[in-house]
Amino acid sequence: MKETFFVEKTPTFDVWQTLDCGQVFRFKEIEGGVRICALDHCAKIFDEGERYRFECDDAEFFKRYFDFDTDYEAVQSACEDGGMVSKAIEYGRGIHILRQDPTEAIFSFIVSQNNHIPRIKGIIERMCEALGEDKGEYHAFPSVEKIAGAGEEFFASIGAGYRAAYLDRVAKTLLCEDIGEWQKLSTDALRSKLLSLHGIGRKVADCALLFGFNRFDVFPVDTWIKKVFEQEYENVPADKMATLLIQKYGKYSGFVQQWLFFFKRNEKKV
């Protein structure tokens, strides 16, 4: 925690919205702020009223991670529809899409399938605790080698349920793959790669594409998005719905998905 930097508060950046919109699981409240771990880095973020104070081990890492280079005002303007999307933008205007590590995103979203966010956080925390490098105050996200070596039984023992077999099998497959090379592929080619992994379907593939590879021409369709569009797309299967929504929202589909997900999931709160 040697480096400190400040980020001015703007209408298009809110730390709580960014962390709590379901894209990331390794954060927790601490006294006066929040602690977020990503790959093998960790930051504590404090609200100072006019600005946020970031205390971290690598300022450059977190400046990139929080995606401060994207012009969210421009993206939001381009997505306004005067209707449902505009309402969702108004509610989640401060969301940034984090630039997560591809491997961490792949395993995190395997854990996320048909699961509650509080439980997802617990499983991933226990994974890091047991398999990730000890960094003192926290544990790093485990390497593919560590995950591949843990064994299916380990993942079952930390409460992963039937996802234990997926985690084990995907890790063993990825040992023979160079994920860095995957970055060069088109979104469709990359999705095909992800879908070839046992335990990754369209939903998890699109989450990995959006959060781990920063492809915005994807639209993960989960139970909340289904609720948003159940009248408009009656009896349309989730995979087909995803394809139709990408056609509808184009290159900013991923942003629209995040705003709608966050808006719908919090509908009953506040």
CB of 127 to DNA, least distance (A): 14
C-alpha span between 57 and 41 (Å, rounded) = 6
Contact characters 121-150, DNA, x per CB under 7 A: -x----------------------------
Return the amino acid letter for 133: E
CB of 198 to DNA, least distance (A): 5
Site for DNA in 17-56 (CB under 7 A): 21-23
Site for DNA in 221-240 (CB under 7 A): 222-225, 227, 237-238
C-alpha span between 151 and 95 (Å, rounded) = 36
Decide: is 204 part of the binding site for DNA (CB under 7 A). yes
Of 53 and 172, nearer to DNA (C-beta) is: 172
Q: Order of strands, edge to edge, in the sheet holding 3-8? A: 3-8, 51-56, 41-47, 33-38, 27-30
Task: Give yes or no for a contact between 120 and 25, defined as CB atoms under 8 angstroms apart.
Answer: yes
Return the amino acid letter for 97: I
CB of 150 to DNA, least distance (A): 15
- DSSP designation for 46: E
Of 46 and 214, nearer to DNA (C-beta) is: 214
Among 113, 142, 144, 228, indicate the residue that binds DNA (CB under 7 A): 113
CB of 222 to DNA, least distance (A): 3
Residue among 12, 18, 14, 21 at smallest CA distance from 73: 12
Among 68, 201, 250, 251, indicate the residue that binds DNA (CB under 7 A): 201
User: What letters, b where the CB count within 10 A reaches 16 and e where it falls short, cover 47-57?
Assistant: eeeeebebbbb
Contact characters 161-190, DNA, x per CB under 7 A: xxxxx-------------------------
C-alpha span between 35 and 29 (Å, rounded) = 6
